[in-house]
Structure 1
Amino acid sequence: MPFRLRRLLQNRWLIGAICGYFLLPSVALGAWPAPRTIDEDRLADAGLRIIDAEHATLVTDFASSPEVEVLPQLIDLALPHWQRRFRVKDKKVEDWRLRVYLIKDEAKFRALGLWPNQSQEFLHGLSLGYEVWLRQQPTDYYQRHLLLHEATHSFMSTLLGSCGPGWYMEGMAELCGTHAWDPRSRELRLGVMPKSREAAPHWGRVALIRKAIDEGRALSIDAVMKIDNRVVLPSESYAWVWALSAFLDRHPAYRDRFRQAPGWVLSENFNRRFRAMYARDRTQLDQEWRLFIESLDYGHDLAREAIDFNPGQPPAAGGSQRLTIQSNRGWQSTGVAVTAGQPVRISAKGRYIIAHDPSGAPWPCEPNGVTLDYHAGRPLGELLATVDAGDGAFTDWRPIGLAADYTPPATGTLYLRVNDAPNALADNEGSLEVRVKAAKQNDQ
């Protein structure tokens, strides 16, 4: 091992708790040593098997099963995804190959010299250049997640030369590890938003964020960016870096900028460049982040929840503003500027589809909502109002229904939506007509 790399390995370990990995923040391209030599006969005598794919070799003491046999092939299927995301050309990956150790009996691997020389103990998985170690996980989904998480570290460290700062390094591994796999069609998708808890058993990131929110421990974007994987991280930290990466990667207003970040992983100014990139709309970014984490759910539809910020104008004296609110979108600007403490009268009419029952029959709805189901403690489909300013922007809302006075808690632009979960907007149909005017004294 070159002296320069040996010193780096000795002095710059990064430790992570969920995956228990040890990985360098920056190693010169080409500096990682090739995987250690293996003696196939000795492995076979010890009860270990070798399973090869084009870009990965799996060494394991697991019994043969479809779930195990497919693991090295998942690396082949993930490679084009990583190439596109991290902007790595075909020529650079032609000879790229990963060695994966899937471990049930640790002693066998130690006896054969297949244990990482420099590491301390790791809880679940470990990535060192072209080698990855994985312990047995409770579900097939989470075994694949762990493989893709650690392999993302390996791809970035060997082909980009770094994984960037801790939050980005772990966020990208969590993002790429969160996948959908169809064994029949052999289709693998990375960076998905799991549709349900059952679709991602033992993953648990959504539940960890929900628990933190319920306990008043919401993290700002800046707080997530301070997560430092040079110390042992709790499970919740992995949930936060996943949430930020997923939010930025899937939001239509922020994703193109976020996807430029792989080009900065070697820069000491990564975080400074990140902040500068979002400086012009940072207030809106922070508001939408807070909305995202407070309403986070499986299948969260960020495309429909995305807010089209449109500053309002004060209504003409004695006049009113008429507008249409779509039932299949999140918060929508009314184009009406409001003043803190000065009420406006909001009235609405129309019929729209807010859901479908299991047979496919639609649930018609009017602005008062339906009591067949509730969301956030209010009737499903009810018209809601908020303002885009103050601490409660988009999270502190008031029910309107068919008509009500709304007293803004802050000066800003009035926004409206129908009450529905962020994973249930896609099957809504239709719109409602809304009128906004200054409230008269006798209307209050």
Structure 2
Amino acid sequence: MRNRKNGSRLWACLPALLMALFAQWTVFGAEPVAAARKPADFRSQHFLVHTDVPPAEAKALLERLETMLKLISGYWGREPSGIIECYIVRDLANWPDGAMPAGGVAKIREGAGVTISESLRSANTFVAKATVYSVADIGVPQHEAVHAYCQQTFGSVGPLWYAEGMAEMGQYWREGNLEVSCHPGVLEHIQKAQPKRTMREILDTNRQAGDTWENYAWRWALCHLLANNPNYKAQFRPLGVGLLLEQAVSFEETYGAVAEQISFEYDFFLNHIDRGYRVDLCAWDWKRKFATPPPGGTPIAAKVKAAAGWQPSGATLTAGTPYAYTASGTWQTAKDAKPVAADGGDKGKKNAPGRLVGIIMRASEPGQRFDISKPFELSEPFDLSEQGTFTPTSHGRLFLRCFDQWNELADNAGTVAFKLKLAAVGDPLPTPTPTATKPR
């Protein structure tokens, strides 16, 4: 959440402003007040926190803030500018009148937080001071501190969808952890909401700051997808920096050519989201070329990884046409699980962990070229095995995966070699042979 106040004084006043800011930071560097439950000051390398929480909690908060700041500044490639000052409140009754501005107090009474900033600009540079006012609730101070970092470092927090989405990401970020790890309430809201918020609604520039945590949840989901999905993350970081610097960049210009792909992957993410879900592992491969199986019986081949979502087979299928296939190799669906073949180790059990399954991205006509400007539609998943034949009921592109819970793919291992041909022509496919899964 943000509430910016832009300074209107001339740039010539900058030295006075800087002196005032430095003087303020020096005064707030005093030793913590000893009185129980009265506001005290705690300082770390980049933060000055005024709070009425116990010292142990205050120090733990500073550690979380510093860890978060290291991660987000590393992501954006900009060192923090200045000290971030925070008022973290457990009980307003512990604070003297006038200790905080009315806007900060109002948000704290709501059980929320706000970042109030003042800035001065010239043609090519700026100076900004952002102050956080927040309830002493895990997550809220980190969220607001992201806004403060952006305001002091870039001079802006960007458009609403980006500002609030990235601030939510900041409070959940853990180094080296790409899993969904948002607040349980956020996760439950996204899982149960019907209809789910569309990407167009999230990017709506007419929405204003100060709205609900439910809206923040959807913005977080979009930013989490774009920041971690290998199809989009390379463009997302420079887009974000450009938005923060208020350059002439936009989501539409950056992703216009693949907007429908993003929308499809975003909807897919929302429909399968759970704690532990990895958007990087579940990303769709849009670069693989597809073809109809040759009439002479030459097979189309693909490698299918256990630790991934739907993967392209390279084959475009025609409804009502029988196809023969094999899947050689073994894989594991848990670190200590026994390697199994593509039948999942149980030839008759539906949805057995480790079973090869397929899905068709539908086309309206046989051999139709796919137009990425149009929405994508998926068939129902269907079971495959080590070897067999099947007759699809839909035209379209065949995708494959190793069956496992969507939020449990990260500990999978192994690959199977898939081959598919027209069933009625050519030589039969060789019987698949299991190959050992590489040691973990």
In structure 1, stretches of 5+ residues that fail to align are: 1-20, 138-142, 181-188
Is 2:329–2:417's contact at 8 Å kept on the other side of the alignment?
no
Q: Match for 1:50: what amino acid?
A: D
Indicate the residue corresponding to 1:354 in structure 2. Answer: 332
Is 1:350–1:432's contact at 8 Å kept on the other side of the alignment?
yes
Shift of 1:82: 3.1
> 2:355 aligned with 1:382, yes or no?
yes
Q: Match for 1:206: what amino acid?
A: L
> 2:58 aligned with 1:78, yes or no?
no
> 2:228 aligned with 1:243, yes or no?
no
- The TM-score with structure 2 as length reference comes to 0.75
Summarize the alignment of residues 30-429 of structure 1 with structure 2, pairs less than 5 Å apart.
34=21, 47-65=38-56, 67-88=57-78, 90=79, 93=81, 96-109=82-95, 111-119=96-104, 120-121=106-107, 122-129=110-117, 130-137=130-137, 143=138, 145-180=139-174, 189=175, 192-194=178-180, 202-212=183-193, 215=194, 217-226=195-204, 230=208, 232-260=210-238, 261-267=240-246, 270=249, 273-309=250-286, 310-323=288-301, 324-339=303-318, 341-356=319-334, 361-369=336-344, 378-389=351-362, 393=377, 396-402=380-386, 403-407=388-392, 409-411=394-396, 413-429=397-413
Question: Which aligned runs of 4 or more in structure 1 are off by greater than 4 angstroms?
Answer: 25-46, 389-392
Structure 1 residues 293-302 or 259-268, which shifts more?
Answer: 259-268
Question: What is the DSSP-based 3-state SS (H/G/I as helix, E as strand, rest coil) of the residue aligned with 2:385?
Answer: coil
Shift of 1:175: 0.9
RMSD in angstroms over aligned alpha carbons? 3.5
Q: 1:25 to 1:250 in 2, by over 3 A?
A: farther
Shift of 1:322: 4.0
Shift of 1:170: 0.3
Residue from 16, 24, 45 that aligns with 2:4: 24
Q: 1:152 to 1:26 in 2, by over 3 A?
A: farther
Question: What is the DSSP-based 3-state SS (H/G/I as helix, E as strand, rest coil) of the residue aligned with 1:205?
Answer: helix
Q: 1:319 to 1:118 in 2, by over 3 A?
A: same
Shift of 1:115: 2.1
Q: Match for 2:94: what amino acid?
A: K
For residues 242-268 of structure 1, the C-alpha deviation after alignment (integer angstroms, 9 at most, x for no partner) is: 111111101112111000122223548
- The TM-score with structure 1 as length reference comes to 0.74
Q: 1:136 to 1:105 in 2, by over 3 A?
A: same
Structure 1 residues 431-440 or 41-50, which shifts more?
Answer: 41-50
Question: What is the DSSP-based 3-state SS (H/G/I as helix, E as strand, rest coil) of the residue aligned with 2:342?
Answer: coil
User: Within 2, Cα distance between the matches of 1:150 and 1:410?
Assistant: 50
Shift of 1:311: 2.5
Q: Match for 2:112: what amino acid?
A: H
User: Within 2, Cα distance between the matches of 1:299 and 1:25?
Assistant: 39
For residues 46-96 of structure 1, the C-alpha deviation after alignment (integer angstroms, 9 at most, x for no partner) is: 82221111221111112232x3213234444433333333332x4x72xx0
Q: Match for 1:427: what amino acid?
A: D
In structure 2, stretches of 5+ residues that fail to align are: 118-129, 364-374, 426-440
Question: What is the DSSP-based 3-state SS (H/G/I as helix, E as strand, rest coil) of the residue aligned with 2:406?
Answer: coil
Indicate the residue corresponding to 1:18 in structure 2. Answer: none
Question: What is the DSSP-based 3-state SS (H/G/I as helix, E as strand, rest coil) of the residue aligned with 1:153?
Answer: helix
Aligned residues between the structures: 383
Is 1:308–1:332's contact at 8 Å kept on the other side of the alignment?
yes
Shift of 1:194: 4.5
Q: Match for 1:134: what amino acid?
A: S
Q: 1:220 to 1:118 in 2, by over 3 A?
A: closer
User: Within 1, Cα distance between the matches of 2:322 and 2:214?
Assistant: 42
Identity across aligned pairs (percent)? 21
Is 1:344–1:439's contact at 8 Å kept on the other side of the alignment?
yes
User: Within 2, Cα distance between the matches of 1:304 and 1:264?
Assistant: 28
Q: Match for 2:89: what amino acid?
A: I
Structure 1 residues 236-245 or 289-298, which shifts more?
Answer: 289-298
User: Within 2, Cα distance between the matches of 1:39 and 1:254?
Assistant: 43
Is 1:251–1:302's contact at 8 Å kept on the other side of the alignment?
yes
Q: 1:102 to 1:64 in 2, by over 3 A?
A: same
Shift of 1:39: 11
Q: 1:342 to 1:236 in 2, by over 3 A?
A: farther
Q: 1:385 to 1:39 in 2, by over 3 A?
A: closer
Shift of 1:125: 1.7
User: Within 1, Cα distance between the matches of 2:222 and 2:149?
Assistant: 21
Q: Match for 1:24: what amino acid?
A: R
Indicate the residue corresponding to 2:123 in structure 1. Answer: none
Shift of 1:406: 4.1
Shift of 1:304: 2.2
Pair member with larger Rg:
2
User: Within 2, Cα distance between the matches of 1:236 and 1:408?
Assistant: 39
Q: 1:242 to 1:346 in 2, by over 3 A?
A: farther
Is 2:285–2:311's contact at 8 Å kept on the other side of the alignment?
yes
Shift of 1:222: 2.0
Question: What is the DSSP-based 3-state SS (H/G/I as helix, E as strand, rest coil) of the residue aligned with 2:405?
Answer: coil
Is 2:42–2:58's contact at 8 Å kept on the other side of the alignment?
no
